[in-house]
Amino acid sequence: MKAQRVDRWPWRVGSGALIAATASGTVIEARHPAPLVWDLLEAPVDVDELVGVLAEAFGAPVATVRADVLAFIDQLGAVGLVELEP
């Protein structure tokens, strides 16, 4: 599965970000490292590869990172901020 962001309105706040879905007016507060995930979604990215990179970078278990990344992508997708490809 690949994911890519479709809106471009993050505001950096410390180590986090506020991401606005312009179509729905929804604002999502993204705390570290979620803004990094947002940045990596600029181009279509394979979710499994994204999870592997983040797990290695942060020394975190792959299963934990996968659950967190998928939850964040689902949250973004629910307000139209991410497109998913099979």
What tens-digit pLDDT sequence spans the chain (86 residues)? 787 777 666 666 666 777 777 777 777 777 778 888 888 888 899 999 999 999 999 999 999 999 999 998 998 888 888 888 87
Question: What structural domains and CATH numbers belong to the chain?
Answer: 2-80 (1.10.10)
CB 8 within 8 A of CB 76: no
pLDDT at 78: 85
pLDDT at 57: 92
To which H or E segment does residue 47 belong?
A: helix 47-58
pLDDT at 32: 78
List phi, psi (to 5°) of 34: -55, -35
Cβ partners under 8 Å of residue 35, min gap 6? 10, 12, 15, 16, 17
